[in-house]
């Protein structure tokens, strides 16, 4: 663990409220693992043998339907806990996580969760906040899918991605991990064709710039008006 | 608290793993409140001053969009914890909860949550399992909305409601709380018109029986085949 940035780790939400010696004890049980771009961290329905904190990189988490269709659940960004199936009472992973960029994660055996959570109640409390925030995100997504036309849903989805993982660049705010039009389609419950049509129209208006696996918001404020139905 | 069924309360998921004296201490701080049918328990965006466990009755939780559209988030059944905004790091309720039947809930001040969760780590762990299960439910709903045609979504929604709150009756399994076709439309991201059309077709085939605010599954197995796309 010596090679990892200790200060960075101490500031992660999962470890909020832990004393330095508690964090040391926790980290002494963690394993640091590299996941090169394209590698699967865990598979849907596989035994949930570990839980993780992402230190570096980005993951794409998706669910496969019995019909073989894929739906992106979310992207995991550095600092986030993930794979906490055990903590929420499940024995298998509910989705598949794939590294979309070279990534590094800390991992602990799931079997250690009950003991660690008992010894450090902050762990359960902090995980509860993360899972609660994800639940709110999913509520938002369901409400948008049920009530908004597709153009507004796509605008909301891009703005949320920019908020989660935006990086300022000369031309605006770029989403700082590889994201495809197909991903955006799955996140908004529409087709690749529709996403392509709308992004092309936005591109013509100078609102966004999109290349292969790359989306940049050139006019986030204008996109916000669109999302709110006033653009 | 003397009038409430102590054994029933001790078996609720929220209190799992608590010692009898811990449960006593917790219950001594709780207030039991009646919510007659139609009464609002809390409003979306109001200060989250309390968290609750439903002992009796049923609640409908919904979100209002800025445009004034309503979307049902879920129904709360007896035994469930709800209104845990504080525990997930929010200061306001993310939705509105209304009693759809005469209901009774235990409530605690939200301000007591940090102290109670520190004294009884099981509370946070048990709440984490509930919130995690809700997150899985919402993932399922998003995946269905993104990939399934509306008839299969409605079949899945009714089967889940029957699993959550089904009661065996002579003609099949009835959903044991008042539920409207509009509710089903909001839960599946479609229109009242479409739900009515599909339920009428199913009624003609003898699959369901639906009266005002009442839905009975006459042939749950047949509905399951429909949900799976093989019916």
Pairwise CB contact (< 8 Å): B135 & A133: no
Confidence of residue A4 (pLDDT cuts 50, 70, 90): low
Asked if A58 and A115 touch (Cβ cutoff 8 Å), the reply is no
Pairwise CB contact (< 8 Å): B229 & A94: no
Question: So what's the pLDDT on residue B73?
Answer: 94
Cβ neighbours of B148 in A, within 8 Å: 65
Please check the confidence at residue A226 and state whether its pLDDT lies above 50: yes
* Average pLDDT in chain A: 93
Selecting from A66, A88, A145 the residue whose C-beta is nearest the C-beta of B145 gives A145
Question: How far is the first Cα of chain B from the last one, in angstroms, to the nearest whole number?
Answer: 49
Is residue A226 packed enough to be buried (19+ CB in 10 Å), middle (13-18) or exposed (0-12)?
Answer: buried
Q: Give start-end residues of each CATH 1.10.10.10 domain in chain A.
A: 148-227
Residues making up chain A, counted from first to last: 231
- The answer for A35, left when phi > 0, alpha when psi is -120 to 50, beta otherwise, is beta
The tokens for B57 are 């009755």
Q: Give start-end residues of each CATH 2.60.120.10 domain in chain A.
A: 6-135
CA distance B121 to B142: 32
Residues 6+ apart with CB under 8 A from B162: B173, B175, B217, B220
List the Cα angle A154/A155/A161 in 5-degree steps.
85
Give me the percent of chain A exceeding a pLDDT of 90: 87
Asked if B107 and B117 touch (Cβ cutoff 8 Å), the reply is no
> Is domain B145-227 given the CATH code 1.10.10.10 in the classification?
yes
Pairwise CB contact (< 8 Å): A129 & B89: yes
**CATH assignment of A148-227?**
1.10.10.10
CA distance A112 to A3: 24
Residues 6+ apart with CB under 8 A from A34: A102, A103, A104
Selecting from B71, B135, B148 the residue whose C-beta is nearest the C-beta of A135 gives B135
Asked if B75 and B177 touch (Cβ cutoff 8 Å), the reply is yes
Question: So what's the pLDDT on residue A3?
Answer: 54
Note the Cα A158 to chain centre separation in Å. 13
Residues 6+ apart with CB under 8 A from B3: none
- φ and ψ at B12, to 5 degrees? -70, 145
Confidence of residue A2 (pLDDT cuts 50, 70, 90): very low
* Average pLDDT in chain B: 93
Give me the percent of chain B exceeding a pLDDT of 90: 87
Q: Which residue has the tokens 């059309």?
A: B197
Selecting from A127, A132, A189 the residue whose C-beta is nearest the C-beta of B146 gives A189
Please check the confidence at residue B83 and state whether its pLDDT lies above 90: yes
Please check the confidence at residue B2 and state whether its pLDDT lies above 70: no
**CATH assignment of A6-135?**
2.60.120.10
Pairwise CB contact (< 8 Å): A146 & B189: yes
Q: Give start-end residues of each CATH 1.10.10.10 domain in chain B.
A: 145-227
Q: What ipTM was reported for this prediction?
A: 0.91
Minimal CA–CA distance to B40: which of B113, B99, B111, B82? Answer: B99
Name residue A167's beta-bridge partners: A174
Q: What DSSP character marks residue A24?
A: H
Please check the confidence at residue A13 and state whether its pLDDT lies above 60: yes
Q: Give start-end residues of each CATH 2.60.120.10 domain in chain B.
A: 6-125
**CATH assignment of B6-125?**
2.60.120.10
């Amino acid at each position: 663990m010596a090679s990892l940035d200790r200060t960075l780790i101490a500031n992660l939400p999962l470890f909020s409220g832990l004393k330095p010696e508690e964090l040391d004890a926790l980290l002494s049980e963690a394993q640091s693992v590299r996941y090169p771009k394209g590698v699967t961290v865990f598979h849907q329905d596989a035994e949930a043998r570990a839980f993780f904190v992402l230190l570096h990189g980005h993951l794409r988490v998706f669910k496969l339907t019995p019909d073989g269709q894929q739906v992106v659940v979310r992207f995991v960004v550095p600092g986030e806990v993930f794979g906490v199936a055990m903590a929420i009472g499940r024995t298998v992973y509910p989705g598949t996580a794939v590294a979309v960029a070279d990534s590094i994660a800390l991992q602990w055996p799931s079997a250690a969760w009950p003991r660690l959570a008992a010894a450090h109640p902050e762990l359960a409390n902090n995980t509860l906040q993360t899972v609660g925030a994800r639940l709110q995100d999913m509520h938002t997504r369901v409400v948008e899918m049920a009530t908004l036309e597709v153009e507004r849903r796509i605008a909301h989805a891009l703005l949320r991605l920019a908020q989660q993982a935006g990086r300022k660049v000369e031309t605006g705010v770029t989403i700082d991990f590889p994201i495809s039009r197909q991903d955006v389609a799955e996140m908004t419950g529409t087709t690749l064709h529709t996403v392509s049509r709308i992004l092309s129209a936005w591109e013509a208006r100078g609102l966004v710039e999109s290349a292969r696996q790359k989306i940049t918001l050139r006019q986030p404020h204008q996109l916000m008006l669109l999302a709110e139905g006033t653009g």
